[in-house]
Amino acid sequence: MERLEVLKTYKIYIGGQFPRTESGRYYTPVNKAGKALGNICLSSRKDVRNAVSAARKAFGGWSERAAFNRGQIIYRIAEMLEGRRLQFIEELQLQGSTKKAAEEEVNLTIDRIVYYAGWCDKYQAIVSSVNPVASSHFNFSVAEPMGVVGVVAPENTSLIGLVSLVLPAICGGNTVVVLAAEHLPLCAVTFAEVVNSSDVPGGVINILTGSNKEMNPTLSTHMDVNAIVYGGNDALALKELQENAVLNVKRVFAYTNDWSKADAQGLHFISDTQEIKTTWHPIENIGGAASSY
Amino acid sequence: MATKKNTPVVEWDYSPSLEGTSHIQLKKQYDLFIDGKWVKPSSGKYFQTINPANEEVLSEVAYGNEKDVDLAVKAARKAYKEVWSVMPASERAKYIYRIARIMQERARELAVIETLDAGKTIRESRDIDVPLACNHFFYYAGWADKLEYAFPNRKVESIGVAGQIIPWNFPLLMAAWKIAPALAAGNTVVLKPAETTPLTALKLAEIIEASGLPAGVVNIVTGFGDTGAAIVNHADVDKIAFTGSTNVGKIIQKAVAGTSKKLTLELGGKSANIIFDDAPIDQAVEGIINGIFFNQGHVCCAGSRLFVQENVADKVIAKLKDRLNSLYLGNPLDKNTDIGAINSKEQLETINKYIKIGKQEGAEMYQPTCSIPKKGFYCPPTLFTNVAQSNVIAQEEIFGPVLTIQTFRTVDEVIQKANNTPFGLAAGVWTDKGSRIFNLTTKLRAGVIWANTYNKFDPTSPFGGYKESGFGREGGLHGLSSYVKLV
């Protein structure tokens, strides 16, 4: 008798836990061949709020970690994902990719994570500055994470788009609430499992599946979300996000990059979700002037 | 002349030292500066601008409407396409340097007009606003031909036509903050000054005219809120830069939603000024005074929420009250004056409304006994003690010489209290302990941290907020990114 396969229950990821949606609702996206991908959580507004709370709680600890340590943890995500290559390839194929395209997407994803792992302790040196003010002050500007960043993953990829938007945000010390691609949700959930097994503290990355149309308003009107990164290509949805962002002057970034391109990565994706903080301090200007050699 | 307050301690006074006004040239009427020419407003309407220190009319100024804005945007587009974006960057730089130089030559005139139109003290206009404005042009001029060094691994392009709307608290300085980086990066400009303080922007237009800057590169359209709205909503504007209140900023952010316009906002604040018990108290008291009473408190980054460590609170508050009694309030043109006029009648009413609310909420008010000039708009420097975190005066931006004082015991407590605001523009920290300064500068969620100093500005130093204080930076290398397209 052939062995009966154990099917996976796809869950959402909030604060380092894997609950089903608190609403008990689900949806069943199908692939091109008409095969159901699974009973995916149709996350509710409450799930979004819970995820934002978890992200806010995790922000202090994550943003204050040594940059080197963040780099190591992110590198660990790549290690864990490498170990699960086959699962991602299968899921991508189930969602409609060819084997070759699926392999390429997973390889690029792993490489992109390694790429951003390496940025963690380097971007600061490039985006910060010491400013030669005319008065007797030492003045410097540094980058600091914006806080909780909402990420609306691109609709046309299951894995690479989400990873391309999430990684620069967390590399820079932000925590994220991710709305996965509604019709290609499998890799998002499996990615959450990878994250969970790679030393990323709970709450740094939160991933929800469901209807963007339903979740976007809650995410974009939430007063504790500092910025939104939008990867979709729906102009009306973007406009709605931008209008809602006004409530607490959220920063909104919309990207239309083709994430499958090797060069769809870079420092600017990190610096977009950074604030610049400038500090002044007086310099004592008595004595010392004649003591140079 | 400066008006002496009745200090209970010592009677001493200065002789009046009025800055002359005979050297300045103000026209009776100013038109719009569009396409290098002075153009009458299509509506034919003008509005008066007055000296808030004595309510005398200084001049009347054109009220630009949608049609005028459209003309200005067309001129800016033409100048962008045909001249400014195709000019060698090093030539662009030379024009901007030239503007800086002529401003320096006419600095005294600009300072006096700024004081007349805005009510700010001549010492401030002369020593801070005008030199900083000149220096801002001089600083950004040098960036014009070095942009590729500012954005590693990216190709830098100009954006196009920038629509810029500036406030009344630093009229010339804000014009410089907006225009200089925009021009350096190769954009052309339509700028609207605030309705109560249009004169120095119009003088700047004269300087720009004299500099030989190609027609249409900078256009100045005076008017009211609807003039600004016409700029924001114009389809051919590529970039909006706004400095002003958070309320208006939100309206603009909403108007720009769904368009491809690039946006930067520099909005309100309710900045914390934190005094630890080991701080040099006398210096800190000067810092508190400068933090909140500089420019009559019409400063978006004003240190309007004072947090004093409990064990030194009595001492600090006593010294503050003493210091308040030695401040001179009166004619802004008098070089002795510390506190000038409130910018407008409306703003004075707003401030008085908040003072009333503060008293109703149960906070204790302290004002020095001082005589207020009969004409003009004035508000004595005001302290509130016994203030709760939930009080309106501790939460909302007053934009006047009103300070709320709260106490704290621990570092954690003060960080939480300081960050407990939707704003995030600036903060001050006073302590002798270096490690504590770095702890606080990291934890305070604000764009500018002044440690053992306050209200310092420089063209090389990026300025701008976190959270509802807006986004984008002005000044320094980071200020360039608001005016470039990176590909």
Domain locations in chain A as residue ranges: 26-282
Contact list, A238 vs chain B (CB under 8 Å)? 258
Put simply, the answer to whether A139 touches B152 (Cβ < 8 Å) is no
Put simply, the answer to whether B461 touches A141 (Cβ < 8 Å) is yes
Minimum Cα–Cα distance from B152: chain A residue: A126
| Amino acid in position A131 | N
Minimum Cα–Cα distance from B434: chain A residue: A281
Nearest to A268 among B154, B449, B460 (CB): B154
Q: Give residue B14's pLDDT.
A: 84
Q: Give residue A289's pLDDT.
A: 59
Rounded Cα distance between B481 and B97, Å, is 20
Q: Active-site residues of B: which are they? A: 266, 300
Contact list, B487 vs chain A (CB under 8 Å)? none
* Contact between B132 and B29 (Cβ < 8 Å): no
Nearest to B453 among A144, A247, A282 (CB): A282
Contact list, A126 vs chain B (CB under 8 Å)? 152
Put simply, the answer to whether B462 touches A279 (Cβ < 8 Å) is no
Put simply, the answer to whether B253 touches A245 (Cβ < 8 Å) is yes
| CA angle centred on B101, ends B99 and B104, rounded to 5° | 110
Minimum Cα–Cα distance from A134: chain B residue: B458
Q: What is chain A's mean pLDDT, rounded?
A: 96
Put simply, the answer to whether B478 touches A126 (Cβ < 8 Å) is no
For an interface test with A, give the residue of B134, B151, B253, B420 to mutate (most A CBs within 10 A): B253
Low-confidence stretches of chain B (pLDDT < 50) are: 1, 7
Nearest to A276 among B254, B256, B473 (CB): B473
For an interface test with A, give the residue of B154, B416, B466 to mutate (most A CBs within 10 A): B466
Nearest to A279 among B152, B441, B468 (CB): B441
- Whether A66 has its CB under 8 Å from any CB of chain B: the answer is no
**Helix intervals (H) in A65-159:** 67-83, 85-94, 99-119, 123-127
For an interface test with B, give the residue of A63, A230, A255, A279 to mutate (most B CBs within 10 A): A279
Contacts with B116 (C-beta within 8 Å, 6 or more apart), sequence order: B21, B24, B51, B53, B58, B199, B332, B333
Contact list, A122 vs chain B (CB under 8 Å)? none
Q: Give residue B1's pLDDT.
A: 45
Q: Give residue A265's pLDDT.
A: 97
* Beta bridge partners of residue B265, listed in sequence order: B242, B471
Q: Give residue A286's pLDDT.
A: 66
Taking only the tens place, the pLDDT of each residue in B133-189 is 999 999 999 999 999 999 999 999 999 999 999 999 999 999 999 999 999 999 999
Domains of chain B as residue ranges with CATH? 29-267+466-486 (3.40.605.10), 272-451 (3.40.309.10)
- Whether A69 has its CB under 8 Å from any CB of chain B: the answer is no
Nearest to B422 among A248, A267, A280 (CB): A248
Taking only the tens place, the pLDDT of each residue in B227-237 is 999 999 999 99
Please give the CATH superfamily to which domain A26-282 belongs. Aldehyde Dehydrogenase; Chain A, domain 1 (3.40.605.10)
| pLDDT (average), residues A16-42 | 96
Contact list, B249 vs chain A (CB under 8 Å)? 249
